[in-house]
Amino acid sequence: MRRSISAVAVMAGLALTLTACSSGDDTSSDDSSTAAAGDGSTLTIWVDETRQDAVEAAAEDFTAETGTKVETVLKNYDDIRTDFISQVPTGKGPDITVGAHDWLGELTKNGVVAPIELGDLADEFEDVSVQAFTQDGQVYGLPYAVENIGLIRNTALAADAPTTWDDMIAAGQAAGTQYPVLIQTGEEGDPYTYYPLQTSFGAPVFEQNDDGSYNSTLALGGANGEAFAGWLAEQGAAGTLDTAITYDIALEAFKNGQSPFIIGGPWMLDSFEGLDLAVSAIPSAGGQDAQPFAGVQGFYVSAQSQNALLANDFLLNYMSTEDAQLALYEAGHRVPALTAAADTASADPVTAGFREVGANAVPMPSIPEMASVWTYWGVTEAAAITGAQDPTAAWQKMVTDIQGAIGG
């Protein structure tokens, strides 16, 4: 017993010295924490790898002019949405994050994102980009890029842009390559890439309100949707569509000149260096306009940011400049959202091509119900293509199932 008493005394002494030593460390670490405001404060921004350098470049200007440090935290793009939603309420989330416009419904529903007043700046951006970040008349993000898919053509294999699906298949066969056209599909389907083909049959996914926003009434069923499903089955039987073609395989095959056409977006371009490319509208398969989804990339401000003023200042006055938007363009080849920057970037015919196709694109729905649609949709498309199920019946069942998932 005596031993332990003396031991306690020793420990208490030790503890006090330790406390004294480390309390110094404590305060210094507080200074560097992201929550501290005032001069020398730090703005924390989540970025993914593609965007990191461009954001850091803009941040340098910001730091030079305002003295505010900017810390970019590299995240996996896939993790950002979940992490942002779960970490913002703890007060330890970032001040700003990059993100896509279709997260908007979920972010506002969880109350983790603050509105941004673009003010007169709004007019300097492409309409679709601001529109995409708008919900109930309130803008929630600063857009920097608009992306959509188009028909990428290897001009060495096909000189002219086809206007209809059949033209394209004919041109593809005439080229004598292994595939007339490459469309990434996969065993789970790829409704995003197939969307322009579906809209060419007049079957959009959700109904749109007058102001262009979506409501939760499904529109992909009915005769038009079933006609699209039937067409998928035909093309699958003919071998032009194939679920074995994944993104990887399509990319590799196009790169190797195994097809004159691939349906895809600007993110593919890095893989196609050395090929002579042109981008044109996706040919219509069902007679109507083939409208791809437009996805808008932008920056969100956290609703719990301790540096809201800095965050808005950074976005409104430093990320909305032509230089910053062009730097982001260089990083990902996506068409800038700022009109002036988009005009500059359009000097590149491929970018101009994507931009032209994008003029006809519809924003991807950002309503939370959209999350419930993808899986059913893709799997049903895949089943129609492989012939595993009767296309009409499968499509009808899909519409009922999605309805159940949304309503349930």
Partner 1 sequence: MPTPESTAVAPRKRRGRDLSHARDFRPGFLVKLVLVALIDAFGIYGILAAWNQEAWGILTSMVVLLAVTNWVYFAKKALPLKYVLPGLVFLLVYQVYVMAYTGYVAFTNYGDGHNSTKSQAVEALLVQNERRVEGTESYQLTVVGSGDELGFAVLDADGDVRVGTAEQPLEEVDATVDAGQVTAVPGFDVLDRTTVLERQDEVTSLRVPISDDPNDGSIRTQDARTGYVSESTLHYDADADTLTDSTTGTVYSPNDHGQFEAEDGSTLAVGWRVFVGGENFTTAFTDSRYAAPFWKILVWTFAFAIGSVATTFLLGLFLAVVFNDVRLRGRKVYRTLLILPYAIPGFLGALLWAGMLNRKFGFINEVILGGANIGWLTDPVLAKLAVLGVNLWLGFPYMFLICTGALQSLPGDVMEAAKIDGASPWRAFRSVTMPLLLVSTTPLLISSFAFNFNNFTLIYMLTGGGPRFSDASVPLGHTDILISMVYNIAGVDGNSQKNYGLASALSIMIFVIVGGISALAFRKTRQLEELN
Partner 2 sequence: MSATTPDHSRLSAGRWVRELGWRHLIGVIFVIYAAFPLIYLVSASLSSGGTLTGSNSLFTDVTGSNFSTLFDTTKFWTWLGNSLIISVASSVGAMLLGAAAAYAFSRFRFRGRRSSLTGLLIIQMFPQMLAFVAIFLLLLGLGEVFPALGLNGKLGLIAVYLGGALGSNTFLMYGFFNTIPRELDEAAKIDGATHAQIYWTIILRLVAPILAVVTLLAFISTFGEFIVARIVLPAESSWTVAVGLYSLVSDQLAANWGVFAAGAVIAAVPVLALFLFLQKYIVGGLTAGSVKG
The residues of the shown chain that bind partner 2, judged by CB under 8 A, are 25-26, 29, 48-50, 73-79, 86-87, 90, 92, 246-249, 251-253, 255, 265, 267-268, 271
Helix (H, G, I), strand (E, B) or coil at 249: helix
Q: Is 119 helix (H, G, I), strand (E, B) or coil?
A: helix
Q: How far apart are CA 57 and CA 323, in angstroms?
A: 10
Closer residue to partner 1 in complex, CB, 200/259: 259
Cα angle, residue 195 at apex, residues 192 and 197 outer, rounded to 5°: 140
Cα 232 to Cα 241: distance, rounded to the nearest angstrom:
8
Among residues 57, 278, 316, 331, the one that binds partner 1 under rule CB under 8 A: 316
Among partner 1, partner 2, none, the one that 211 touches (CB under a kind-dependent 5 to 8 A) is none
From candidates 264, 376, 385, 395, binder to partner 1 by CB under 8 A:
376
Tell me the one-letter amino acid at 44.
T
DSSP 284: B
Which residues are CB-contacts of 116 (< 8 A; sequence separation ≥ 6)?
139, 140, 141, 142, 301, 312, 315, 316
In three-state secondary structure terms, 259 is coil
Binding window for partner 1 (CB under 8 A); candidates: 115-123, 196-204, 225-233, 344-352: 115-123
Stretch that binds partner 1, among 85-93, 161-169, 223-231, 343-351 (CB under 8 A): 85-93
Strand partners, 280: 151
- Pick one of 219, 249, 331, 340: the residue that binds partner 1 (CB under 8 A): 249
Strand, coil or helix: what is 274? coil
Between 277 and 319, whose beta carbon lies closer to partner 1? 319
Q: Which stretch in 11-19, 52-60, 156-164, 348-356 sits in contact with partner 1 by CB under 8 A?
A: 11-19
Instruction: Give the interface segment with partner 1, choosing from 268-276, 282-290, 352-360, 369-377 (CB under 8 A).
Output: 369-377
Tell me the closest approach of the beta carbon of residue 271 to partner 2, in angstroms.
Answer: 6
The option from partner 2, partner 1, none interacting with 170 (CB < 5 to 8 A, set by class) reads: none
Site residues for partner 1, 216-245, by CB under 8 A, read 242-245
Q: Does 303 bind partner 1 (CB under 8 A)?
A: yes
Distances (CA, A) of 104 to 81, 135, 341, 366: 10, 8, 24, 6
Using CB distances below 5 to 8 A depending on partner kind, what does residue 49 bind out of partner 2, partner 1, none? Answer: partner 2
Alpha-helical (H) ranges within 213-338 are 222-238, 247-255, 308-314, 322-332
| CB of 253 or CB of 278, closer to partner 2 | 253
Given 112, 262, 345, 385, the residue binding partner 1 (CB under 8 A): 112
Token pair of 142, please? 């600063």
Spatial contact of 169 and 155, defined as CB atoms under 8 Å apart: no
Whether the CB-CB separation of 129 and 334 falls below 8 Å is answered with: no
Residue 25 found at the interface with partner 1 (CB under 8 A): no
Q: From the list partner 2, partner 1, none, which binds 202 (C-beta under 5 to 8 Å, kind-based)?
A: none
Q: Binding of partner 1 at residue 106 (CB under 8 A)?
A: yes
Site membership for partner 1, residue 215 (CB under 8 A): no
The two tokens of residue 406 are 């949304």
State the DSSP H helix or E strand holding residue 150, giving kind and residue range, or none if neither: strand 150-154
When the beta carbons of 190 and 266 are compared against partner 1, the nearer one is 190
Indicate the residue among 280 and 312 with the shorter CB distance to partner 1: 312
What would the x/- binding string for partner 1 be over residues 162 to 181, using CB under 8 A? Answer: --------------------
Binds 346: which of partner 2, partner 1, none (CB < 5-8 Å by kind): none
Cβ contact 120:330 at 8 Å: no
Q: Which CB, 126 or 190, lies closer to partner 2?
A: 190
CA 197 to chain centre: 20
Three-state DSSP state, 96: strand
Q: Which partner in partner 1, partner 2, none is near 76 (CB below 5 to 8 A by kind)?
A: partner 2
Nearest of 297, 289, 179, 333 to residue 244 by alpha carbon: 179
- The DSSP call for residue 388 is S
Which of 173, 246, 346, 360 binds partner 1 (CB under 8 A)? It is 246
Pick from 77, 247, 267, 374 the residue near partner 1 by CB under 8 A.
374
User: Which is closer to partner 2, CB of 139 or CB of 151?
Assistant: 151
Taking the C-alpha atoms of residue 175 and residue 182, their distance in angstroms, rounded to an integer, is 13
